[in-house]
């Protein structure tokens, strides 16, 4: 049986990224965790085809919006759903502007996030 595609986790905060990756792996997911948008886009361009992208909204360097634009330009990963993670007050509006499949506010309710991931990975 083939291994499911990994989750691409993009978060510039080391503790958040590492902690979330541990939780996701403990729940049976494969995770490719990166610290910035440039690295994420490079991995997608190099052929990584994740099952889902979990992306922090506020990152230095390449913004979440630019990461999403680059994703949408790449036919191989254009349809991969994005879940936005943020503590921003207007997360719902920002997630909608990115055409994200869902959003989760920080601090993250892990049970809710796992349910959302499973819903979108099943599609």
Q: What is the pLDDT of residue 24?
A: 97
- Summarize pLDDT for 30-53 with one digit per residue, the tens: 999 999 999 999 999 999 999 999
Nearest of 73, 74, 79, 92 to residue 53 by alpha carbon: 79
7-122 folds as Rossmann fold (3.40.50)
pTM: 0.94
- Summarize pLDDT for 58-79 with one digit per residue, the tens: 888 899 999 999 999 999 999 9
Q: Is the pLDDT of residue 120 over 50?
A: yes
CA distance 48 to 42: 9
């Amino acid at each position: 049986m083939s291994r499911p595609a990994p989750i691409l986790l993009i978060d510039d905060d080391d503790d958040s990224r590492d902690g979330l990756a541990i939780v996701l792996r403990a729940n049976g997911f494969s995770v490719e965790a990166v610290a910035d948008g440039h690295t994420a886009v490079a991995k997608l361009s190099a052929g990584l085809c994740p099952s889902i992208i979990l992306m922090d909204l506020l990152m230095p360097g390449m913004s979440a919006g630019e990461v999403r634009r680059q994703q949408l330009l790449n036919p191989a990963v254009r349809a991969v759903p994005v879940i936005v993670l943020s503590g921003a007050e207007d997360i719902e509006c920002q997630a909608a502007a990115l055409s994200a499949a869902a959003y989760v506010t920080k601090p993250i309710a892990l049970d809710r996030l796992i349910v959302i991931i499973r819903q979108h990975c099943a599609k």
